[in-house]
Amino acid sequence: MAKFILLYKGPATPMEDITPEVGEQLMQAWNAWMRLQHRRGRRHRHSQVPVRRPPLPQRRYGALRGRDLRARADVSDQTEQRYHHQQAWATRPAGRRLTAQSPTGTAWSGEPVWRVVTYGALVSVPPAPVLCDGEVVLRPRTVGDVDSAVSFLIEHKSRVAGTVEVRLTGEGIGELSWAVSADHRGQGVGTRAVRLFVRYAFEELGLHRVVAYAEPDDQASLRIAGRAGLRREGIVRAARVAREHGGERRDHVLLARLATDPEPTSGEGFIGVLNAGLPTKRAIAQGLIRNSVDEILLCELTYKQEWDLPGGVVDPHESPAHAIVRELREELDVEASPRSLVAVNWLPRWRAWDDAILFVFDLGVDDEMIARARLEPREVRSLHWCTLDQVEGRAAPYVTRMLRRLAQQTEGTAYLEDGADPT
């Protein structure tokens, strides 16, 4: 077991032996520091549950080293008391101070335990290694904020080719960034360097998630991120200031990889990255219900002015046919069975909506539908039987175009774009 070494800011006082109470207080400081290290993303196999990170000053006043702290008890037989850092200790009363022996034989009356952590306990860790992948070598370098960033120089064929680093944002998460000089681009240097570094971040720094940001039109960075196993998670609006665009805040793509994700070179990992980057479209399922005089059922809705066919958005991993059955059950409290698919209608962007695919199912003739329905009042205000002329005055233009087109169809499924035949 290693003995403790604790230095911290405070006025000098006469030396005192370490009492069991002080030893317990030291262990609280050690526990708090290890939780802090865990939150900041440093790897240590004895780190515990994260706590709120206190601010650290630029100057460090001391260090704690060792898996265990050994404190000399102030008792007659000088029995050594062992305080293992994995034990749970109660929170120390606010305002109390601890006294600890320094290696030079001088003692300080320090701040409360949480301030000891604030003032810079530091766990000794091995120096960052040199990482290699053929002609690509990563050499550790020192950056200004050493407590929150781990940075490497990228070397290619013995020449400096760029940098790669991760900033530790807390709770085992790191923000990844890289830059490759122009004369080394297009040779796979960035991909190999980022792959090496991500592996190091997981295996040595103990991170469980790394994230990166790239502009949507920066195809080179998006390719490097994908080949290193980072998956596209979405667009973060106005996420970064772009100096090359006059300091304008611009949207960025958020990419991330978890420590548990499969390697991007494996089949499962490749599919996961590719699937996350593919475009997605909204799918909508609606039902065409008529009465015996060929009028069409429209819903008067609470959330928009236009009347519309019954139905709604298809949920993730749900089929359109199941969706229309679910929507009628939820909104009208009726059971229906799709008889056939009468139209597939691509809808372009409209207002704030992106484009979508609309599936229209034939739900048959039902004169008693309005009488049987019990409406979901938060979504549907009322139901109406409408002629095509009445539809034109109440529904969105694409709905009118689509229903007039379907009135001419006697069989099969129509493919439409914005309610009309494609041109």
Question: Which residues are CB-neighbours of 293 under 8 A, at least 6 positions away?
Answer: none
207 has a pLDDT exceeding 70: yes
C-alpha Rg value of the chain to the nearest Å: 33
- The pLDDT score that the predictor gives to residue 81 is 28
Average pLDDT over residues 376-405: 96
The C-alpha angle 305, 306, 308, rounded to 5 degrees, equals: 135
Q: pLDDT tens digits for 218-260?
A: 999 999 999 999 999 999 999 888 766 677 899 999 999 999 9
Spatial CA neighbour of 112 closest among 12, 10, 34: 10
201 has a pLDDT exceeding 50: yes
- The pLDDT score that the predictor gives to residue 302 is 94
Q: pLDDT tens digits for 328-345?
A: 999 999 999 998 999 999
pLDDT band at 142 (very low <50, low <70, confident <90, very high): confident
- The pLDDT score that the predictor gives to residue 155 is 94
Rounded to the nearest 5°, which phi and psi values hold at 197?
-70, -40
- The pLDDT score that the predictor gives to residue 228 is 96
Please report which helix (H) or strand (E) contains residue 80, including its range.
strand 80-84
Considering the chain, what percentage of its residues have pLDDT values greater than 70? Answer: 68
46 has a pLDDT exceeding 80: no
Rounded to the nearest 5°, which phi and psi values hold at 25?
-65, -40
- The pLDDT score that the predictor gives to residue 394 is 95
Residues facing 72 on adjacent strands: 80
AA letter at 217: D
State the CB neighbour count (10 A cutoff) for residue 278: 7
Q: pLDDT tens digits for 350-379?
A: 888 889 999 999 999 999 999 999 999 999
Cα–Cα distance measured from residue 9 to residue 321, given in angstroms and rounded to the nearest whole number: 70
Is the CB of residue 331 less than 8 Å from the CB of residue 300? Answer: no
Q: pLDDT tens digits for 64-91?
A: 333 333 322 222 222 222 222 222 222 2
- The pLDDT score that the predictor gives to residue 97 is 35
Rounded to the nearest 5°, which phi and psi values hold at 396?
-65, 150
Is the CB of residue 15 less than 8 Å from the CB of residue 35? Answer: no
Spatial CA neighbour of 51 closest among 33, 24, 26, 28: 33
Question: Which residues are CB-neighbours of 291 under 8 A, at least 6 positions away?
Answer: 297, 365, 366, 367, 369, 385
- The pLDDT score that the predictor gives to residue 141 is 84
- The pLDDT score that the predictor gives to residue 38 is 52
**Residue 188 to residues 166, 185, 200, 385, 394: CA-CA distances in angstroms?**
20, 7, 19, 63, 58
Average pLDDT over residues 49-57: 33
Cα–Cα distance measured from residue 200 to residue 195, given in angstroms and rounded to the nearest whole number: 9
Average pLDDT over residues 195-214: 94
Q: Please, what's the b/e burial string for 57-93 (b: 16 or more CB within 10 A of its CB; e: otherwise)?
A: eeeebbbbeeebbbbbbeeeeeeebebebeeebeebe
- The pLDDT score that the predictor gives to residue 65 is 30
- The pLDDT score that the predictor gives to residue 284 is 97
pLDDT band at 134 (very low <50, low <70, confident <90, very high): confident
For the entire predicted model, the pTM comes to: 0.61
